[in-house]
Amino acid sequence: MHLLLTGGAGFIGHHLLAALYAKYPGAQITCIDNFDPFYDVAVKENNIQPFLSKPGFRLLRIDLGQTSPTQLTTLIPEKVDLILHLAAKAGVRPSIQNPEAYQQANVGGTKNLLDFAVATGVRQFIFASSSSVYGINDHYPWKEDEELIPISPYASTKLAGEQLGKQYRERHGMRFIALRFFTVYGPGQRPDLAIHKFTRAILNDQPLTVYGNGNTSRDYTYVGDIVQGILGAMKYSDSNFEIINLGNHYSISLIDLIRAIEKITGKSALLQYGPDQPGDVPKTYADISKAKRLLGYDPQTKLETGLTAFVDWFTSNR
């Protein structure tokens, strides 16, 4: 089996790599990552280091948004059985300042990879989408057939990726599965995300900024559960196009999240409040019945367990 994984040096990507080697020890894995300096590149270098010596592993340090399908076929001459496309330019708020860069990386990069898949006969394409495509929608919990109202350029690029996948399925018969991730956390989480920032501030006795009144809430999903959902999607073959939520079916407020981190760390947060941020939605909450039915998805990690694992990782990797 030859698997092509994009974004493998990132947070979710390196967890998925470990799971792939555990499940498919003889697989050949080609990993594409451009080591975007959105956060410290040394973090990604550390993530990917354990895999560089694995038999059958190859790392391509390229930018998909600037690499043509023809160039990809030259770089990857072997037959690819399945594509796992996690790579994306991340961040809702930064996308508002530079939407063109997000368009090129997330939409252009996805199109280049889809064209490569068509040219080389890849039979299954799994795309990492985002809960941000729902936007501001009070029909909780969100089902996959909800009206979509993305309110940031980042969210719009993820929706565009889903729509490209649908077009390629109709024109080329490829199986395309879009997985909408809901606020993934756990050991190795990106330093710009809330749980990482809050833990760092609390343990370092630094002020912690809460935007708005602290009542915004998120469906926090442990990275191990997300990985199990991706592995389930790899085996799915009953239809050629699906959009599937991967969440925890539980939404917790920002202030309750902070209290939970306080309890685990044994320290109090120094709270300061700021205005609501553009691009942020008031609440996310996933209906995961489709994922359970199609993928056997069954998230098991309670928030306290997942937060404890993250705090343990953080204190060991400062």
The whole-angstrom separation of Cα 177 and Cα 174 is 10
**pLDDT tops 90 at residue 212:** no
Q: Is the peptide bond before 282 cis (omega within 30 degrees of 0)?
A: no
The arithmetic mean of pLDDT across residues 77-83, rounded, is: 97
CATH number at residue 157: 3.40.50.720
| Amino acid 275: pLDDT | 86
| pLDDT interval class at 277 (50, 70, 90) | confident
The whole-angstrom separation of Cα 6 and Cα 235 is 18
Q: Is residue 77 part of a domain?
A: yes
The whole-angstrom separation of Cα 254 and Cα 211 is 9
Lookup result for tokens 């559960």? 225
Q: Is residue 188 part of a domain?
A: no
| Amino acid 280: pLDDT | 80
Q: How many CB atoms lie within 10 A of CB 37?
A: 8
Domain hosting 129: range is: 2-182+221-249+286-299
| Amino acid 120: pLDDT | 97
**pLDDT tops 80 at residue 64:** yes
**pLDDT tops 90 at residue 213:** no
Q: Ranked by mean pLDDT, which of 105-119, 134-148, 199-213 comes out on top?
A: 105-119
The arithmetic mean of pLDDT across residues 91-103, rounded, is: 93
Question: In the chain, where do the E strands start and end?
Answer: 2-6, 28-32, 57-60, 82-85, 124-130, 175-181, 184-185, 207-211, 217-218, 221-222, 241-246, 252-253, 270-274
| pLDDT interval class at 214 (50, 70, 90) | confident
**pLDDT tops 80 at residue 278:** no
| Amino acid 67: pLDDT | 97
Strand order in the sheet with 57-60: 57-60, 28-32, 2-6, 82-85, 124-130, 175-181, 241-246
| pLDDT interval class at 276 (50, 70, 90) | confident
Residue of higher predicted confidence among 212 and 230: 230
Q: Is residue 92 part of a domain?
A: yes
List alpha helices for 57-108, DSSP H. 69-75, 92-97, 99-102
* Environment class of 104 (CB within 10 Å of its CB; exposed 0-12, middle 13-18, buried 19+): middle
| Amino acid 173: pLDDT | 92
The count of structural domains within the chain is 1
Q: Is residue 49 part of a domain?
A: yes
| Amino acid 316: pLDDT | 94
**pLDDT tops 90 at residue 159:** yes
Q: Is residue 173 part of a domain?
A: yes
The set of catalytic residues is 154
Min mean pLDDT across 82-91, 137-146, 275-284 is at 275-284
Q: Is residue 100 part of a domain?
A: yes
Q: Is residue 101 part of a domain?
A: yes
The arithmetic mean of pLDDT across residues 195-209, rounded, is: 95
* Environment class of 290 (CB within 10 Å of its CB; exposed 0-12, middle 13-18, buried 19+): middle
Q: Residue 235 corresponds to which tokens in the numbers above?
A: 């085996």
Q: What percent of the chain has pLDDT over 90?
A: 91
**pLDDT tops 80 at residue 279:** no
The arithmetic mean of pLDDT across residues 196-215, rounded, is: 92
**pLDDT tops 80 at residue 72:** yes
β 207-211/28-32 pair status: unpaired
**pLDDT tops 80 at residue 191:** yes
The arithmetic mean of pLDDT across residues 29-44, rounded, is: 94
| Amino acid 211: pLDDT | 85
Report the predicted TM-score, pTM, of the whole model to 2 decimal places.
0.96
Q: Is residue 10 part of a domain?
A: yes
The alpha-carbon radius of gyration of the chain (Å, integer) is 19
**pLDDT tops 90 at residue 298:** yes
- Non-local (6+) Cβ contacts of 36 within 8 A are 89, 90, 105
Mean pLDDT of the chain: 95
| Amino acid 274: pLDDT | 87
**pLDDT tops 90 at residue 174:** yes
